[in-house]
Structure 1
Amino acid sequence: MDISSIRQDGYFFHRRFFYVCKNAAKQQSEAPMNPHSPFNPKSVGRRLEALREHHHLNKADFSDSVGIDRSSYIKIERGDKPLKAEMAYAISERWGVSMDYLYRGRLTELPAPLADSLMRSLTKGDL
C-alpha cells in the first residue's frame, strides 16, 4: 500500500475493506510549506497588504469592500489563514487584479501604474 491510497479522512481501502489509518490526514495536511513559495499564505498576505495600501484603505474597509469577515481578512493578510478561491475571486473582480497576482505574485496582467505601485510596495523592505 502506498500513501496515495489513504483518503483525506484517514481511511484506506484494501481489497474489500476500509481501514482507519490514525493521523493519516493530519500527517498529510501538516507538511511544511516552503516559506519562499508564492503560494505560501504569508506571501499571499503581503500581496493583499500591498493592494490594500495602494488603494489607501484600512483592513476593515478593504474586507468590507469584498464581503470578507474582518477577523478572517486580518488572519489572511497576516498569513495565518489561506485565501479561499471565492474570496480571491471577489478581490480580483472588485479591485482589478488577477488571481494569478494574488496567488502567484504575477504582475504581467495588471495595468502598468498598478503593477509599478505594487512592486514598489512589495520590495520596500528588501532594499
Structure 2
Amino acid sequence: MSSSVVSAKSELQLLAERLKRTREAKNLNQADWCRFVGIEPQAWSNYENAVRRISIDQAIKVCVATGASLDWIYRGHLSGLPVELVTALQAKIDKRSRYKAVNLREES
C-alpha cells in the first residue's frame, strides 16, 4: 500500500473522529444528532465510521447546527469554535484519558 493511500485513510479516520467527538460533545446519540443537524442516519454513520468523507454541504449543516467551523471539521483547528463547544470537546477528551489511565492501572 502506498504512503499516500495510508495518509489519506488516516486523514479520513481523523475527520471521522472529530465528527464523532462533535456529536458526543452535544450529548446526542446518532439518531437524535441526525434529526438535529438534518443528515440521514446512514450517511452520518458512514462519516463517523470513516467509510465516506463528509461533503462540504453536509459539513455546513453541522456548522450551522453546532457553531463548529469547517476548520475544526476538516483540519482539527479549535480556534473560532464557541467556548461551550470547546469546553465540551475538552471534557470528552479528559474523560477518555482518565478512563484509559484507570484501565492501564487495572491491567498492571
Question: Which interval holds the TM-score relative to the shorter structure?
Answer: 0.7 to 0.9
> 1:24-77 CA distances to partner (integer Å, 9 max, x unpaired)?
xxxxxxx5041686xx22111111111111111110111122221111100100
Unaligned 5+ runs, structure 2: 102-108
**TM, length-normalised to structure 2:** 0.75
Match of 2:5 among 8, 18, 32: 32
How do 1:27-66 residues align onto structure 2 when only pairs under 5 Å count?
31-34=4-7, 40-66=11-37
Unaligned 5+ runs, structure 1: 1-30
Q: Aligned pair count?
A: 95
Bigger proportion of residues as strand: 1
Larger Rg: 1
Structure 1 SS opposite 2:14: helix
Q: Partner residue of 1:86?
A: 57
Structure 2 SS opposite 1:79: coil
Question: Residue type matched to 2:75 in 1?
Answer: R
**TM, length-normalised to structure 1:** 0.65
Does residue 50 of structure 2 align to residue 74 of structure 1?
no
Bigger proportion of residues as helix: 2
State the 1:121 CA deviation: 2.5
Q: CA RMSD in A?
A: 2.2
